[in-house]
Structure 1
Amino acid sequence: MAISISLTVNGAPVTANVEPNTLLVQFLRDQLRLTGTHIGCDTAQCGACTVHLNGRAIKSCNMLAAQADSADITTIEGLSKNGELHPMQAAFKDCHGLQCGFCTPGMVMSATALVATHPQLSEADVRAQLDGNLCRCTGYHNIVKAIVEGAAAMQSGAGSTQNAAKATA
């Protein structure tokens, strides 16, 4: 028996019917076609499914869609504005903080939430705080560099790390 839910996803109101056992990640990908949120491990270990729920990073494979009723959800698709990358997305691009890209959306979503609670991040802070996000391709060096640079760009309000560099030149 389907349950009706109403929530806001990437700034837009959404009302849908979901089965009681539908995971939030399945709802986002299958019903809303927001496929940037990846399904990695299905056990909340890898972080590929990370989204923001009311401004807080959560693993959407570990939550039922019905539990998100009335919530405000932001996915990786909702970070960029007016066709311009979010500063954290730009930093991942500029610092080559990805290889295959599978973990990248979850890393970016975790990183943006991390910066909101820890605005002054060191590389050691990033390494400690990203404990719940796994990457199988990189040695994390460029990911950490991207997050530190993305945090600085977010603090300065720059649209991208390139724009931040131009603003200080």
Structure 2
Amino acid sequence: MKKKLFVVLALLLAGLAAVTAVSADVISGIGWLEARGDGTARVEGYVKNLHIKGNGVLLYHDGGEEDAAEVTGYGRKIDLPGGWVKYEGFHGTFNLKDADQTTVALHGRNIGLQAIGRGTVWLKGHGTYTYGTPGGIVTGDWSPDGQTFSIDSE
């Protein structure tokens, strides 16, 4: 059973990585992004402050120091190999501060995301986003094919 879960997780992550790599649109911002919509939202890198809410499946991995995430709401928590945590039937909020080498992904509906830090945010589905650039604030729509945003708070 554990081997099967590991294989499924590996395939899921490989698929997300492949889709991100295919996305030619990488947009640079100055360290923050907010988004609302349905689909998939993934944050990777150093998280100064992350707040994500919604309904669906949430995956979390902390590859650096072990940082405590605050999770509220309900869903079935599953500890996976390699330090990954999965919440099935997730309906709630996930908060994290000052965490490095972090990956958080939520696939579902009614996603609300606020990310401040340094790394990438990938959005796929239908919704809107707002992020800061050196030239001001930019607002747009999620891409059904996926779009990567590079943010840097420093």
From the two aligned structures, give the one with the greater helix fraction: 1
Provide the TM-score with structure 1 as the length reference. 0.25
Pick 1 or 2: higher relative contact order, CA cutoff 8 A, min separation 6: 2
Larger Rg: 1
From the two aligned structures, give the one with the greater strand fraction: 2
